[in-house]
Amino acid sequence: MIAALSPRVHSYPLPSIYPVSADFAVTVNGENVPVTAFAPEPGGGVEYHYAHFSFRGTVNVQVSTRRKITSYSVSPLALEIPAEVSGHTLAFTLDRSRYLIVKIDDLRELVIAADPEEVDPPGPAGPGIFNVYTDFGADPTGRTPATDSVQGAINAASEAGGGVVYVPAGVFTIGNIVLRSRVHLYLAGGSVLRATGTPLVYSTQFHHDSLGMDGTWLVSTAPGSVDVTVSGRGTIDGQGARMRKESGYLNHLLVPVGTRGLVVEGIIGRDSGSWAFLPSRCSDVQISNYKGFQTQRQFENDVLDINECQDVTVRHAIAICEDDPYSTKAWAEDANIAMSWPHPRQPVERVLFDDVVAWTHCAAFKVGNGHYSHQRDITYRNGCVYNATRAIAIDPCYGSEPCSGIFYQDIDIESLDHDRGNQSWLLIHTRERGLGIGPVSGVRIERINVRSQGGMKPLVAAGNADGAITDVVLRDVVLEGTPLRSFDQLGISLDTNVQEPAVTYGEA
């Protein structure tokens, strides 16, 4: 018999640039865990709060407020985490890593980002370690730029044939950073790589037509690089809401481009002024324990977009934003957003999103937009939609390539209270916008619990015969407690370019 591991909790110092929550205090097994008030937009106030720690074993989490608690919820609701209230304190137990959204009375939500304990994290010194502070003199206060120190450590590790670039706790202000082959960028808990907040030091790598703004890649990879890792419990912070509002300039936080063998584990991506994390034309990509925290007050700020990549696994993540938390895309070579991507256009193939939490004003789990290459074998599994306008969305437009082999499995849809158009739990819509339209086929939507259907009926519609929708199956779907046993229950009509979806319930 294997003995259970003794509990262990790792909390991290709150970076000096982040405000402490005035509404919540959190302890884990009696140890104080800092709570950050997320308020990135100048003058915008607090949008939500988050507490971040890692652990092993079984731990007791206590959330305290300034007043007596009268109502609460702990999402994902499907986990059915039992909790107890005593006066000002809500308590519950965790025995594995979870990303939770706690709602107490009329307070803003509290995100509990409970990471797994790191396995063999690198130390700050030793063979193969390139410490940006002790070895390269980076300023950990954020007052002076650390770009040369961080890039110098990366270059030295690359020239040595590979190594760990160690970023200790502290705030490091950076310009453009480029990761190279066989380099492992390690962000220790409490560390922040932070953008300057102004565009003056950045090279422009894209233009966002819908916003009419230029933008930069804060951290990217060298095109053609191999075996690049970004891990730890630290943060990449774009100061994006401020830079977008005050300077009309955007940034992507992390842009791996043309990389084979990419691992991203455990970090926080925070406050990009545009789409945040964009693996682009990459292959063999592993993303896990990722936390994406964005404002919900600015459009076009997706958390994680998989762009023309193959063999991608995203496992255990939480994404909060105004726009799309998770999506797959394929753009033309000359598209404004892709103008600096290397290599020819590529398909999106074999992409898995597993154990993912979404909170957005837009579409939670999306395939599209951008269909200039074939998108196929894409799966969303074990997902929670805390709140959104649309939960499941297949939305091909901009391009005429097909979309096939799309799977949504074991999705729990808690609320659809936001309204950014087509407020419903399901949208499959091929649209013609003057740039082509392609077909959708082989869609499987299975074991979906729809607690809230939104204000509109599902939309399944094709723009024309080129965008025909065929071979769609809805299996074991429950709508607000009622099993979906026939297509007629949806109460929608179909155009001539849509084959009626098959509906089954409770069949082997």
Domain ranges of the chain: 8-116, 130-306+325-334, 361-508
pLDDT band at 170 (very low <50, low <70, confident <90, very high): very high
Contact, 457 vs 491, CB < 8 A?
A: yes
% of the chain at pLDDT higher than 70: 99
Mean pLDDT, all residues of the chain: 96
| 35-38/48-56 β-pairing | antiparallel
How many angstroms separate the Cα of 306 from the Cα of each of 329, 401, 430? 6, 17, 20
pLDDT in tens, 124-169: 999 999 999 999 999 999 999 999 999 999 999 999 999 999 999 9
Considering the segment(s) 130-306+325-334 as one domain, its CATH architecture is: 3 Solenoid (2.160)
152-166, 274-288, 323-337, 378-392: which has the minimum mean pLDDT?
323-337
When pLDDT is cut at 50, 70 and 90, the band that residue 252 belongs to is very high
Model's pTM, two decimal places? 0.98
Q: Would you say residue 36 has pLDDT above 50?
A: yes
Q: What is the pLDDT of residue 3?
A: 52
Write the DSSP assignment of 399-463 as a string of letters.
S---EEEEEEEEEEE------SSS-EEEEEEE--SSS----EEEEEEEEEEES---SS--EEEES
Supply angle C-alpha 393, 507, 357, rounded to 5: 35
CB 502 within 8 A of CB 485: no
Residue 1 has a pLDDT of 40
CATH number of 8-116: 2.60.350.10
Give the 3-state secondary structure of residue 492.
coil
Amino acid 369: pLDDT: 85
pLDDT at 35 over 90: yes
Q: What is the pLDDT of residue 337?
A: 86
Give the Cα-Cα-Cα angle 395, 396, 401 (nearest 5 degrees). Answer: 155
345 and 373 in contact (C-beta within 8 Å)? yes
Kindly report, residue by residue over 456-490, the tens digit of the pLDDT.
999 999 989 999 999 999 999 999 999 999 999 99
